[in-house]
Amino acid sequence: MPENVYKPIMADLLEIKPETPTIKTFRIAPEQPVPFRAGQFVQLTVPGVGEAPFTPSSSPSVDKEMEITILRTGSVTDALHAMTNGGPLGVRGPFGKGYPTEKMEGHNVLVVGGGVGLAPLRSLLHYLFEHLDDYKRVAICYGAREPSELLYRDCFQQWAGYDNVSFDVTVDVPDETWDGKVGVVTTLLEDFDFDIAQTYVVSCGPLIMLRFVTLTCLNAGFKPEQIYLSMNRKMSCGFGKCGRCNIGPFYLCKDGPDVCYDKIKDYKDAFSV
């Protein structure tokens, strides 16, 4: 992180890749390296428009370039989606703690993503694929509302091809092109065959999905301390000062955004918007 944490590092926009009708992946090259852990987030600045928090979707082992997958959902994301290659951007960060990958070593890792929630998890997946010998097995369960909203479809075959990695995908509403599984993402957990005592769960997606993934895992026998949730709710400053992202005493921008469920389970607003 630079000495002046309020000043963005300028970056060139190298490539824009459409993922779905409303989601694009932006590949940028900062003027200086921005090292980050899987799960940490950055503030991405559009000059003259504003900034917003996003979690990189690229490998944390690459710091000279960065990919960020963004859903069009507001003024900053509207401006980003209207940009063309070469446009200037700014990056602040990284912020947050990131996923506890060292704690998970020697265990199974169950990764559960929903919709654009697969974007922050993709950074974790890159890390896990690059360090597979450190983990027992990796299972990826991914769901989206409909086939056109599935991210990274060109990566599915590669992910499923790694040793000791399984990949399963479902959609809520199929169309005429879909011949795969149908149902919400928690239905994929019904076939889970790992040793629960030796498994960590990491999930990212809409808050309602996170709630039901958590309930499903608890009912299956997981303990709260085995469940990590990427709570990418409203964050603004990145320093725990503005008070927009807290759950009880925890600030997602500092203590997360990937939070152990054991820490937040007793707070009524844990899954509130």
pTM over 0.85: yes
Q: Which of 65, 95, 125 is the last residue of a domain?
A: 95
Ramachandran sector of residue 272 (left: φ over 0; alpha: ψ -120 to 50; beta: rest) = beta
**Owning domain of residue 54:** 9-95
For residue 48, give the CATH number of its domain: 2.40.30.10
Q: DSSP H helical segments within 24-106, as ranges?
A: 75-81, 101-104
239, 186: one domain: yes
> Token pair for residue 156?
């599915």
At residue 2, the pLDDT reads 56
Query: 155 and 123 share a domain?
Result: yes
Q: Please classify residue 87 by burial: count the beta carbons closer than 10 Å to its beta carbon, then call 0-12 exposed, 13-18 middle and 19+ buried.
A: middle
Q: Are residues 41 and 162 in the same domain?
A: no
pLDDT at 234: 67
Asked if residue 143 lies in contact with residue 184, where contact means CB atoms within 8 angstroms, the answer is yes
Q: Residue length, the chain?
A: 273
DSSP letters of 221-261?
Answer: T--GGGEEEE------SSSS-S-SSEETTEEHHHH-SEEEH
Amino acid identity of 241? Answer: K
CATH, residue 164: 3.40.50.80
pLDDT at 268: 85
Which amino acid, residue 130? Answer: E
Residues of the chain short of pLDDT 50, as ranges, are none
| Residue 273 counted as domain residue | no
Q: Which amino acid makes up residue 213?
A: V
Last residue of a domain, one of 33, 68, 95: 95
Q: Which one, of 104, 99, 88, lies nearest residue 49 by Cα?
A: 88
Co-location of 66 and 134 in the same domain: no
Same domain (yes/no): 29, 84: yes
Per the domain annotation, does 4 fall within a domain?
A: no
User: What per-residue confidence (pLDDT) applies to 273?
Assistant: 64
Domain identity same for 165 and 57: no
Kindly state whether residues 24 and 157 are assigned to the same domain: no
Q: What is the pLDDT of residues 177-195, one digit of tens each?
A: 999 999 999 999 987 788 9
